Structure 1
Amino acid sequence: MSDKKIVGKQSIAFQNPPVITGYASIVGKKEGEGPLGSYFDRIDEDALFGGDNWEDAESRLQKMTAELAIQKAMLKPDDIRYIFAGDLLGQLIATSFGIVDLKIPLFGVYGACSTMGESMSLGSVLVDGGYADHVVAMTSSHNASAEKQFRFPLEYGAQRPLAATWTVTGSGAVVISSCDKADAVKNDDAIIEIKGITTGKIMDYGVKDSMNMGACMAPAACEVIAQNLTDFKLSPAYYDKIITGDLGVVGQKILIDLLMEKGFDISHNHMDCGIEIYNADTQDTHAGGSGCGCSASTLCSYIMKKMQSKEWKKVLFVPTGALLSTVSFNEGNSVPGIAHGVMLEVRS
């Protein structure tokens, strides 16, 4: 790792790596029935989460997740300097209505399904720079609210193509703290540091099929993974896992092929949250899971627990996003993608 903060073309190495002092994941019934069900903090059988409509449900989901992550970090909302959060809904209404009562200064961010990576990146920069002791990075998605905005009304019952993914109902939140606050982790689990980040570029290969998110986002994932390895002069084997957000089975194949063309073989240590969160044999989700909550809830459950047990010590976390809107899609535009890389490592 370089002793300089600015590394290569697109990366930052933190001189005082921030630590993750708390994390939480809350998901819906379908996600709880999947292979990762035992890892989530909470599974809610009520798709409305006690709310009046789908948007209200997602707001409640975010608030509960943020509160739980802060509680698990043994902090209070007043201890949090900033919160970095966003969602898929117009003008981030799940976030703004969800966390208003927490009274925490907010940076609202939008990276589509890459929002967790963007939130963690920006939060880590402020913590490493000494501008905050504790920040929260989080995001969410809800199957019904996303389908309502981007696809068809649920009542319509439209047939989904096999390349389509299923929007995850879930939220994940992490508390990122300055390195000297690592003592706040009062257990025997490993301390997980954010060693660096690689910020992705918008990549557009001209794909216009909005139901095939994997094909839209794979080029962006390829670009940021290759840049991370190049900037830090690493081989793919440096990481125990290189984990993308929600490419699904279609996007995973494209990603591996694209990286192979660049001379990087990640076929042995790549994992995709969208593939892991559902059971392809028993749950009708076609190509896998997607949505902001896909990578966020998987990170804040399965991935973090694998790292805290030291089964995985070095992970490149790469949430992926498709930058479309109902307006751009209806105007016949292609679907650009973006991805952000976050380097997670167990403190030695």
Structure 2
Amino acid sequence: MEREQMIGKQSILFHNAVHILSGASMVGKKEGDGPLGKYFDKIGEEDGLFGCQSWEEAESILQKEAVSMAIKKVGLSKEEIRMIYAGDLLAQTIASSFGIIGFEIPVYGLYGACATMGEALSLASMAVAGGYGDYVVAVTSSHFGSAEKEFRFPLGYGNQRPFSATWTVTGSGACVLGRKGGKARITGITTGKIIDYGLKDSLNMGACMAPAASDTIYQNLEDFGRKPEDYDRIITGDLGEVGKEILIDLLKEKGYDVTAKLMDCGIEIYDKETQDTHAGGSGCGCSATTFASYILPKIEKGEWKRVLFVPTGALLSKVSYNEGKSVPGIAQAVVIEHC
């Protein structure tokens, strides 16, 4: 008889943990110059176009390279990959569509804003655990130029950014998941809800996303019967300096103090003092590249035994923003442990 894998209100506890077999990333020059620069697999050219004619095409190159490197690290061929879960920030997820078309692998296109890597890892792990694929890829990307064009202002406009704003990471991170053979494994997930506090400032996305991060982290701790101390790190995607402080306060109101365990990819990826990114980094590529090249190796080496990885997303579009709608948030949590 099959054992129940649902746990609590929103979580899954995998009885057969899913292994992360590899992680790979490609980033832009700005990210390569940051504190994590030495960890990324490949750093692109300074202009961010990578030999392409548009920002969107350049972002597709990021995904293509990240997936290629992740598959190569495992020693697999593309024919052995059963499916890809892929997403980005652009309308109709065109960075993913054009980036992975050449692999000729079945694909599910995803949109969870900057939380998409958490969504991709969650769905990919469920597919592997359910026996629907021996090898599955999760990949996301973002690009500063394409995101500014999609959501804010043309780069040539030279608009001033408030200190609450984050800088969209130019980068893509990919992971290959399988049933066995890795030194890190996904043991559980907590699927996030859409949380809306009515905030409308698209240049303060950390504040918009923090309530969703709080809700998902709280539910993970409740569902699994854990305390913050049971994790070596609780790692959010891209709350930045502003959102991180709000998250700490919100969780204290719920009875949990995560201050000592909390880390944010958006804060780690840039040097606040020298790189002029204000509140930190954001974008699908922020958590994806940080996870694939910095967090995952630490878990594989056993430096961190158990991590709660919580990419965060702001669910807005240029249509909803121009119509005066609020900016709801979502956060997807993935429990990753050392083998």
User: TM-score, with normalisation over the residues of structure 1?
Assistant: 0.96
Q: Which residue of 1 aligns with 2:301?
A: 309
Using the TM superposition, give the Cα deviation of residue 313 of structure 1 relative to its aligned residue in structure 2, in angstroms: 1.0
Q: Which residue of 1 aligns with 2:31?
A: 31
SS of the aligned residue for 1:18 comes to strand
Find the aligned partners of 1:86 and 1:308 in 2 and give their Cα distance: 25
Give the counterpart letter for 1:7 in structure 2: I
Pairwise mapping of residues 84-95 of structure 1 onto structure 2 (< 5 A)?
Answer: 84-95=85-96
Q: Which residue of 2 aligns with 1:21?
A: 21
Find the aligned partners of 2:55 and 2:72 in 1 and give their Cα distance: 26
Find the aligned partners of 1:25 and 1:312 in 2 and give their Cα distance: 20
Q: Which residue of 2 aligns with 1:164?
A: 165
Q: Which residue of 1 aligns with 2:80?
A: 79
Find the aligned partners of 2:297 and 2:19 in 1 and give their Cα distance: 15
Pairwise mapping of residues 82-231 of structure 1 onto structure 2 (< 5 A)?
Answer: 82-179=83-180, 182=181, 185=182, 191-231=183-223
Find the aligned partners of 1:76 and 1:52 in 2 and give their Cα distance: 30
Q: Which among 248, 251, 270 is matched to residue 262 of structure 2?
A: 270
SS of the aligned residue for 1:328 comes to helix
SS of the aligned residue for 1:172 comes to strand
Q: Which residue of 2 aligns with 1:6?
A: 6
Q: Hey, which bits of structure 1, 4+ residues long, moved more than 6 A?
A: none
Q: Which residue of 2 aligns with 1:51?
A: 52
Find the aligned partners of 2:138 and 2:50 in 1 and give their Cα distance: 21
**1:239 equivalent in alignment to 2:239:** no
Q: Which residue of 1 aligns with 2:67?
A: 66
Identity %: 63
Give the counterpart letter for 1:100 in structure 2: I
Question: For structure 1, which runs of at least 5 residues remain unmatched after alignment?
Answer: 186-190
Deviations 1:124-156 (A, max 9, x none): 001001111000001000000000010000000
SS of the aligned residue for 1:108 comes to strand
**1:289 equivalent in alignment to 2:289:** no
SS of the aligned residue for 1:345 comes to strand
Using the TM superposition, give the Cα deviation of residue 49 of structure 1 relative to its aligned residue in structure 2, in angstroms: 1.6
User: TM-score, with normalisation over the residues of structure 2?
Assistant: 0.98
Find the aligned partners of 2:284 and 2:119 in 1 and give their Cα distance: 11
SS of the aligned residue for 1:254 comes to helix
Using the TM superposition, give the Cα deviation of residue 307 of structure 1 relative to its aligned residue in structure 2, in angstroms: 1.2
In the alignment of these two chains, the number of paired residues is 336
Find the aligned partners of 2:45 and 2:297 in 1 and give their Cα distance: 23
Using the TM superposition, give the Cα deviation of residue 224 of structure 1 relative to its aligned residue in structure 2, in angstroms: 0.3
Give the counterpart letter for 1:157 in structure 2: G
Instruction: Tell me the C-alpha RMSD between the 2 structures.
Output: 0.8
Find the aligned partners of 2:243 and 2:19 in 1 and give their Cα distance: 31
Give the counterpart letter for 1:308 in structure 2: E
Give the counterpart letter for 1:215 in structure 2: A
Contact 1:23 1:73 in 2 (8 A): no
Using the TM superposition, give the Cα deviation of residue 322 of structure 1 relative to its aligned residue in structure 2, in angstroms: 0.3
Find the aligned partners of 1:12 and 1:306 in 2 and give their Cα distance: 24
Deviations 1:44-94 (A, max 9, x none): 124112211100000111101100000011111101000000100000000
Find the aligned partners of 2:134 and 2:50 in 1 and give their Cα distance: 31
SS of the aligned residue for 1:152 comes to coil
Find the aligned partners of 1:311 and 1:328 in 2 and give their Cα distance: 43
Contact 1:170 1:293 in 2 (8 A): yes
SS of the aligned residue for 2:141 comes to strand
Give the counterpart letter for 1:321 in structure 2: G
Deviations 1:178-225 (A, max 9, x none): 13xx1xx5xxxxx10100000000000000000001000000000000
Using the TM superposition, give the Cα deviation of residue 4 of structure 1 relative to its aligned residue in structure 2, in angstroms: 3.1
Give the counterpart letter for 1:291 in structure 2: G
Find the aligned partners of 1:273 and 1:225 in 2 and give their Cα distance: 16
Give the counterpart letter for 1:71 in structure 2: K
Contact 1:16 1:128 in 2 (8 A): yes
Find the aligned partners of 2:252 and 2:19 in 1 and give their Cα distance: 33
Give the counterpart letter for 2:8 in structure 1: G
Find the aligned partners of 2:149 and 2:80 in 1 and give their Cα distance: 36
Find the aligned partners of 2:146 and 2:173 in 1 and give their Cα distance: 17
Q: Which residue of 1 aligns with 2:326?
A: 334
Find the aligned partners of 1:141 and 1:153 in 2 and give their Cα distance: 16
